Amino acid sequence: MKNLESKKNKKLGINFLLFIIFTSQTLIPVGVTFSRTALNSTYFLYELLDAYFFISLLVNPILISSLAKKVIEIEEKNNMWQLQIRLGEKVTDILLNKFKNLSSKLLLLQIIQWILVIVLSEKSKYFVFNMDVIIRLLLLFIAILFINLFSLALFMILEMKTKKVYLTSFLSIIGALSGIICMLTSRLLSYINPFAWISCLMNISYIKEGDKFIKILNPLQYYITIIALLFLVISIVYMKNMKKFLLEKE
């Protein structure tokens, strides 16, 4: 089944979509490195990461929903669901294999992105790579990975539950907008709304001191990692035990 999934994905443009994700998420961090002001910042590495988090907040729901949509749509064509069921395959097993396949690709993509961010941050004279920085980066890496994988599982489940072709695309746009609104209005809402969780990973805050604003490093948000992991596990268990599916779209 794993080899079959790989063959299916070759004709779906998955790698091209992953390239779009990579480009959109790293374009702003790369652009930041051309700013002399940013390069002279004590927190240059974290400013690059915040740029990466911000653009991810905007585009991830839409792009990840597109990934989920593509891998589900191929089964809806030419009655592939029914054919595989007749061959003894379970829908849940097919879904989990799709999820594992895409998860490995997203993990590899994220590793490359973070290596790029670290390499770019070396341009700053304040670049430091000690144990505290490594631990912080590792926790942030795990947190956003869990968030992205939960989003993938969520959109795959929604694709299997709706007859409307463009419903998940519409929900992803609404989700991206709601994430921005929550980030700008309420920290509590940012914890509640899964599409705003990435905003809770931001490293830098600004406080007013006299006539100017100064940058401070935010404490790590361990709760987001735990919440995202919990919801990821729940979604995978639900996917594994799904009983009802809508295998055709209107």
- 3-state SS, residue 97: helix
User: How would residue 176 be classed by pLDDT, with cut points 50, 70 and 90?
Assistant: very high
pTM equals: 0.91
Amino acid at 139: L
Residue 250 CA to residue 232 CA, distance in Å, equals 29
| Residue 248: per-residue pLDDT | 65
Within a domain: 114 = yes
CA 167, 183, 19, 222 torsion-angle sign: negative
Decide: 59 and 21 in contact? Cβ < 8 Å: yes
Owner of token pair 């839409």: 62
Residue 249 lies in a domain: no
Instruction: List, in order, residues 6 or more apart from 217 with CB less than 8 Å away.
Output: 43, 46, 203, 204
pLDDT band at 11 (very low <50, low <70, confident <90, very high): low
Number of H helices, E strands in the chain: 10, 2
pLDDT the model gives residue 162: 80
pLDDT of residue 143: 95
Q: Is residue 250 one of the residues assigned to a domain?
A: no
Specify the number of domains making up the chain. 1
User: What are the distances in angstroms from CA 50 to CA 26, 77, 115, 134, 232?
Assistant: 11, 40, 15, 16, 23
In a domain, 237, yes or no: yes
What's the mean per-residue pLDDT of the chain? Answer: 85
Q: What is the mean pLDDT of residues 88-98?
A: 84
Q: What residue numbers bound the domain in which 17 lies?
A: 1-241
247 within domain boundaries:
no
How confident is the model over 47-86, as pLDDT tens digits?
899 999 999 999 999 999 999 988 888 777 767 777 777 7
Q: Residue 115: pLDDT band by 50, 70, 90 thresholds?
A: very high
**Residue 184 domain-assigned (yes or no):** yes
148 domain residue, yes or no: yes
> Is there a domain that residue 246 lies in?
no
